[in-house]
Amino acid sequence: MRFDDKIALVTGGASGIGKATVMEFARCGAIVICADIDEKKGAEVVAEAGKSNFAVEYLPIDLAESASIRRSAAAILAQHPRIDILVNAAGWNDLQPFVDNPPDYLERVIAINLNGTLHLTQALLPAMIAAGKGKIVNISSDAGRVGSSGETTYAAAKGGVIAFTKSLAREVARNSINVNCVCPGPTDTPMLQSRPENLRAAFLKAIPFRRFAKPQEIADAVLFFASSRSDYVTGQVMSVSGGLTFAG
């Protein structure tokens, strides 16, 4: 797949699945905007990409703050004529029983995982509508499809991303804009590595392939939805979980 002359923006692009997606888009010829709150890691991604002559820029953004999102969106649209591909990849949560979730934790999980996606997409969508084309790929989670103990608020937010994907796909189909969703299962990212060893072992035992996904494998699914190969696909949800979940 080639993305020459395409401009892609990836949130959470400084690490994990987001970084893998940034680098793969760049490898395939796109100009990529790595949007992340972590300026140090963002600079590292740009430097790493530069060694291969990849076109990657860093955009500071705080997805927990709607004002920050709107400022960042305005800044990028002032710099670039359009955004062809938007990948809402950022995510954050912690493992704890729902009954123990403090109010500020509830608000932050919903803000980063759902509201941030809503605000950024809304800010960038008018330019896509004006262009009469565009690809939006939301990264949810299998937690949002089938639930996950200890991640109830996160599952609620990611379930919202799935519903948002399907509804928005209906609204913007007339503008030739595709909106699809990738739901990773357990993936070998810094977030997973921070989980207790016994939990990671339980995941491995439950996954039919007996291994975690590589971030690159999630990026591959994202690039399919962003490519011309999926021009007649919209409103769809793809689980990439090594067979861990089969529920619809």
- Amino acid type, 128: M
Q: Has 105 been annotated as catalytic?
A: no
Nearest-angstrom CA–CA distance, 141 and 153: 12
- Of the residues 58, 105, 154, 232, which is catalytic? 154
DSSP states along 204-239: HHHSTTSSPBPHHHHHHHHHHHHSGGGTT--S-EEE
Question: Angle CA(151)–CA(20)–CA(228) in degrees, nearest 5?
Answer: 105
β-pairing, 56-60 vs 85-88, is unpaired
CA dist list (Å): 83 to 9, 23, 73, 78, 196: 7, 17, 10, 11, 39
Task: Catalogue the E-assigned strands of 142-220.
Answer: 177-184
| DSSP secondary structure letter of residue 37 | S
Number of alpha carbons in the 13 Å side-chain half-sphere of residue 4: 1
What residues act catalytically? 154
